[in-house]
Amino acid sequence: MFIEPQIAKRKGTSAGWIEVICGSMFSGKTEELIRRLNRAKLAKQSLEIFKPAIDTRYHETDVVSHDENAIRSTPVQFAHDILLLAGNSDVIGIDEAQFFDDSLPEVCQQLAAQGKRVIIAGLDMDFAGKPFGPMPNLMAMAEFVTKVHAICMQCGALASYSYRLSAEKAKVMLGEKTAYEARCRSCFMEGMAEDE
């Protein structure tokens, strides 16, 4: 269970930090992001939430979990747009971080240096089991990393892989339960071997 850290005060300013929530599809990443953002809202902290403009699966603008919990957000094309739109917010939420360009880690560093709490959710691996987009760099520089797990849809074990059910090989393919399923390492490897 993640316990929100207290903002450390240093010379009259707040120290910012980066939190990353990662895992496979259907592991509850967005659900956890929304939970943390709602707690910040209850604490009367100002928020700005962003998602990649490409992600319109559930809603054009809102961040929506697979369980249909939602929170207002701003879709952006490029990571640097976040710097322009963050304003004086205390907390910045970023969903589907794997779809952003490689400048996202630097953007998050700048936001944290401004004293902001930056909470990021995203897939740590793509459908081939390889590190996905800017996520490895974000995980390396974050003060807090939470890896959440799904349940393997083949055997019921803990799952950390997103297995693509189609033969499509494009790295980015938006999809839901009809396109992907969560799998444990063993079932993922077995499926990948069958696909070859």
Rounded (5°) CA angle 136-138-143: 120
> Which of 144, 147, 146 lies closest to 158, judged by CA?
147
Helices and strands in the chain: count of H runs, count of E runs: 5, 14
- Contacts of 149 by beta carbon, 8 Å cutoff, 6+ apart: 23, 24, 27, 158, 159, 160
| From 68, 96, 181, 190, the catalytic residue | 96
Answer left, alpha or beta for residue 27, where phi above 0 means left and psi between -120 and 50 means alpha. alpha
Helices (H), the chain: 29-42, 80-85, 104-113, 135-141, 185-195
Q: Among this protein's residues, is 19 annotated catalytic?
A: no
Cα–Cα distance for residue pair 129/16, rounded to 1 Å: 31
Cα–Cα distance for residue pair 15/27, rounded to 1 Å: 30
Q: How do 47-52 and 91-94 pair as beta strands?
A: parallel
Residue numbers annotated as active site: 96
